Amino acid sequence: MSTVHHYRSNLRDTRFNLFEFLRIDERVLGRGAYASLDAETVWESLRQHERTCTEDLAPSFAATDREPPVQSPEGAAMLPAALVRSMDAYYEGGWHLFEVPQHLGGVGAPPSVIWAAFEAVAGSNPAAAFYLFGNFMGRVIDRLGTPSQRARYLPQMIHRKWGAAMVLTEPDAGSDVGAGRTSAKHLHDDVWEISGTKRFITNGDFEPSENIVHLVLARPEGAEGGTKGLSMFIVPKFWVNEDGSLGERNGWRCTKLEKKMGLKASATCEITYGGDVPARGLLVGEVHDGIRQMFHVIENARMAVGMKSMSTLSTAYLNALAYAKDRVQGPALERAMEKTSPRVAIIEHADVRRMLMLQKSHAEGMRALALFVASLQDDIELAGGHGEDKALDRLNDLMLPLVKGFCSDRGYEVLGSSLQTYGGAGYVMDFPIEQYIRDQKVDSVYEGTTHIQSLDLFFRKVARDGGQTLQALCARIAETAHGTEGGDDLAAERAALATALEDLTSIYTSMLGKVGESVQHVGMQGNRILLATADVVIAWLLVRHAAVALAKRPAATGDDAAFYDGKVASARFYCREVLAGVTAARALVERSSLDLLALSADAF
């Protein structure tokens, strides 16, 4: 099989989520900022967008892994011609304007539609997805910048296809952002001089791009230590004059390109600010509030990483499914002892079916989780933006570590079943699965490791508001678990959900007690808590999906009938096979031990 057109989308499930379950045609489209959008227009746009991703972005997926960017004498990553062609086609189709607000000349689609479209980009060519980051950074400057800064950088960033990067990590600090030593010296007005070195900067410098805009965290001279002392600065590759025109080369350079196990087409850079030529930047909004400002970028990036993992698992599953239907090997197990028994397609083997349903239920569950969170963002925007509806904001914040942490961590695990479906053929480059695994593994590492997500979930999202947001979410889940949704057909699934919800509640109750003994218990059990929480939320969503499918199944025919049967099967498998892990997690959390912390390092 050629990996040129490796990408297999699941537009049918996307449509189910958006229009049959979330019902954005009734709740979102035609309202507020989305008054000019209707269901037919949005759906046709998503179909055409998927075609562009499949036909234009996917062909450079494998080619740029085999021939990744190289560093030019000036330091920039020189993008492979195949990737440049892919991105040019995407821009020529105007798809970069999908997420851009109408006042900046874009379509202004709602978050649920933007993220549904992003799935196709990230699934077809994840490296390209991050080179298209300039649009989002433009939206951040539009939101946080001064009128002068907005006029200076917009709409050039969007309509001239400028690149952009978020710049946090430093060689010595790593994930401890507050330990960063990059400094900022005030020159005049909102202009500052930036000095220091940053590492692991995704797409920090690449050609061909007219300009690249960095949003940099740096510490002004005399500012306090830790994250509170950081400010955020707009630091372009080429200085942008007050009238928006390009000026001289600014004083930063890419001093190293990392050599990586995967996602090779995405240039991971070391950036040095200052030296022979000063690196100038603008203080964002003229407000020393860097970490809070940067979280607008971080939260978007974490959502994007979770979506990327989900989309990779989804296309991996669909590729494995196609292989299983085509590959003939071995007789049916009940006839294995008969010498003349016919060989069957491997999808007829029980273990292969188990692995396929494991992949299917997780891919659909992750999509349900991500698009449910995206629909919360729809509601936030319709309510007037972040800060206007505190309950919506808190629920969105609670769910983000689940999207990022669960999808990236469990996604890598389940991708192993995708490879296993192929047998030995999955281990060679004839099929895309080996690259999927290499490209996806970074998702559980960057934008905050899985454990950072788990600490964020427990301490910032649950404990900080006394568990109110989690309790409100659990109350919604309980309504389904103890209700009649899906009738008798889903009674067993609702019962399993009720048990898992009880176990999850006990997990949090037990951990709150253990925190009184030592916060290190969260260190030991945090990842387990995050995964269990996500499992319960996903099971809840899949049960509700199955109820919708059961209601529609009697009138369905052909592919639709099979699709609805599959939705019910996903919910049943997840509730039966996956939710049992929440009960196991409860037992492990309840007997959490700190013995390992007392063990000498020499004993490891």
Positions marked catalytic? 447
21 neighbors 544 (Cβ within 8 angstroms): yes
Q: Which long-range contacts link 397-400 to residues 24+ away (Cβ below 8 Å)? A: 397/299, 397/460, 397/461, 397/469, 398/457, 398/461, 398/462, 398/469, 398/470, 398/473, 399/369, 399/372, 399/373, 399/537, 400/299, 400/302, 400/303, 400/373
β partners of residue 212? 163
Burial class (CB in 10 A: 0-12, 13-18, 19+), 89: middle
The DSSP code sequence of 226-283 is SGGG-EEEEEESEEE-TTS-EEEEPSEEEEEE---SS-TTS-EEEEEE-SSS-EEEEE
In sequence order, what are the residues at sequence separation of 6 or more whose Cβ sits closer than 8 angstroms to the Cβ of residue 2? none
Residue 95 CA to residue 42 CA, distance in Å, equals 13
Rounded to 5 degrees, φ, ψ at 233 are -130, 145
Can you give the C-alpha Rg of the chain in angstroms? 25
The DSSP bridge partners found for residue 240 are 246
Hey, is 132 helix, strand or coil?
Answer: coil
- Beta carbons of 78 and 448 less than 8 angstroms apart: no
Q: Following CA atoms 572, 574, 578, 582 in sequence, which dihedral angle do they give, to the nearest 10 degrees?
A: -90
Backbone angles phi, psi at 556, to 5 degrees: -90, 150
DSSP tag of 286? G
Q: Kindly report the backbone phi and psi dihedral angles of residue 185, in degrees, each rounded to the nearest multiple of 5, phi listed first.
A: -115, 125
Q: How far apart are the C-alpha atoms of 307 and 118, rounded to whole Å?
A: 8
Distance CA 250, CA 212 (A): 11
**Residue 183 burial (C-beta neighbours within 10 Å; 0-12, 13-18, 19+):** middle
Which run of H or of E encompasses 527?
Answer: helix 520-552
d(CA 540, CA 563): 19
Asked if 29 and 40 count as a contact pair (C-beta separation under 8 A), the reply is no
- Secondary structure (3-state) at 526: helix
Give the SS3 label for residue 10. Answer: coil
Q: In a 10 Å sphere around its CB, with 0-12 CB exposed, 13-18 middle and 19+ buried, how is residue 242 labelled?
A: exposed
Four-CA torsion 407, 413, 419, 423, nearest 10 degrees: -160
Give the residue among 34, 52, 42, 35 at the shortest CA–CA distance from 15: 42
Burial of 145 (0-12, 13-18, 19+ CB in 10 A): buried
Question: Minimal CA–CA distance to 297: which of 195, 124, 144, 104?
Answer: 144
Q: Is 593 exposed, middle or buried (0-12, 13-18, 19+ CB in 10 A)?
A: exposed
